[in-house]
Amino acid sequence: MTTKLALSSLVLAAAFAGNAFAESPNAGVVNDNFTSSKTRAEVQADLAAYKQAGVNPWSTQYNPLRGFQSTRTRADVVADYLASRDEVHALTSEDSGSGYLAQMRVTGVPPTALAGQPHNPQ
């Protein structure tokens, strides 16, 4: 029994004994012809301005809305919401608004026909 186990272990070890060489798809290609559009002094000035601003958009504490100031009043926003909630409910319902759009009457300019022959009444 031990010889079978030793023989199977030896066969498995021989099967996995090869070397694995992991390379990137372009390992032989070296492309280092980068030309910067800024000088070193310009990059350092940008870095200093970034640090001076004290805002890090990659931080977990970054809050882009901290200084936000709306130009509309709360009453305007509530009125817009109330005016559009039936339409929003119809467009996000089970049929994705197809029933609402089929019943909707279009006023004004009719949509442009994109397929078929042009209609030239003469």
Q: What's the pLDDT score for residue 57?
A: 80
The total number of structural domains in the chain stands at 1
Q: What's the pLDDT score for residue 121?
A: 60
Q: What is the pLDDT of residues 8-54, one digit of tens each?
A: 877 777 667 666 666 666 666 777 787 889 999 999 999 899 888 88
Q: Report the distance separating Cα 86 and Cα 92, nearest Å.
A: 10
Q: What's the pLDDT score for residue 44?
A: 94
Per the domain annotation, does 24 fall within a domain? Answer: no
Q: Report the distance separating Cα 97 and Cα 91, nearest Å.
A: 4
3-state SS class at 12: helix
Per the domain annotation, does 91 fall within a domain? Answer: yes
Tell me: pLDDT of 120 over 60.
yes
Per the domain annotation, does 3 fall within a domain? Answer: no
Per the domain annotation, does 5 fall within a domain? Answer: no
Over the Cα atoms of the chain, what is R_g? 34
Q: What's the pLDDT score for residue 74?
A: 94
Q: What's the pLDDT score for residue 34?
A: 79
Give the range of the structural domain holding residue 98, as residue numbers without chain letter: 73-105
Per the domain annotation, does 97 fall within a domain? Answer: yes
Per the domain annotation, does 87 fall within a domain? Answer: yes
Helix (H) or strand (E) holding 80: helix 74-91
Per the domain annotation, does 110 fall within a domain? Answer: no
Per the domain annotation, does 77 fall within a domain? Answer: yes
Q: What is the pLDDT of residues 49-93, one digit of tens each?
A: 988 888 888 888 888 888 888 899 999 999 999 998 888 888 888
Q: Report the distance separating Cα 112 and Cα 119, nearest Å.
A: 12
